[in-house]
Amino acid sequence: MELIEYTLSVRGMRCGMCESHIQDVIRRNFDVVKVKANRHKKEVQIISKIPFDESKLTEVMNSTGYPYLGIIDKKVVIKKGLKAYSLNERLRIRDNRYIFNLFVHFIRCAFCFLL
């Protein structure tokens, strides 16, 4: 699965609540897989399945009240495994695997019954 990883430069974060505020604003306005703000590095890392409209991203980040300096890095990342999916997708995949395992178990039990 291909994901897009953005690294944003945001100044003015002083504590964990500042980080949480920025993360919440991004989660509310964009469909993201992961968002992590770091006040020490003065960066926000966003991983998304779809590319962002950069003008909307600038508007949203400026509405937080923290000085937004722009996108530092943008790259495509290929993820494998369940961690590449959102929580709802992971639950759906897990349920499908469970149903498949029940089906396989039933076939084994039916085969044993025939012997």
User: Do 55 and 105 belong together in one domain?
Assistant: no
Six-digit token string for 75: 């790259």
Measuring CA to CA, which residue among 87, 91, 39 is closest to residue 67?
Answer: 39
What pLDDT was estimated at residue 52?
Answer: 86
| Whole-number average pLDDT of the chain | 80
Residue 2 zone, left/alpha/beta (φ > 0; ψ -120 to 50; rest): beta
pLDDT tens digits for 47-100? 998 898 889 999 999 999 999 999 998 988 776 654 555 555 655 666 666 565
Give me the domain span that covers residue 73. 2-82
User: Do 64 and 94 belong together in one domain?
Assistant: no
User: Do 50 and 101 belong together in one domain?
Assistant: no
> In CATH, what number is assigned to the domain containing residue 28?
3.30.70.100
User: Do 72 and 95 belong together in one domain?
Assistant: no
Specify whether the CB–CB gap between 27 and 60 falls below 8 A: no
**pLDDT surpassing 90 at residue 26:** yes
User: Do 65 and 89 belong together in one domain?
Assistant: no
What pLDDT was estimated at residue 87?
Answer: 56
Cα distances (Å, whole numbers) of residue 22 to 2, 6, 10, 79: 25, 14, 9, 25
Number of domains making up the chain: 2
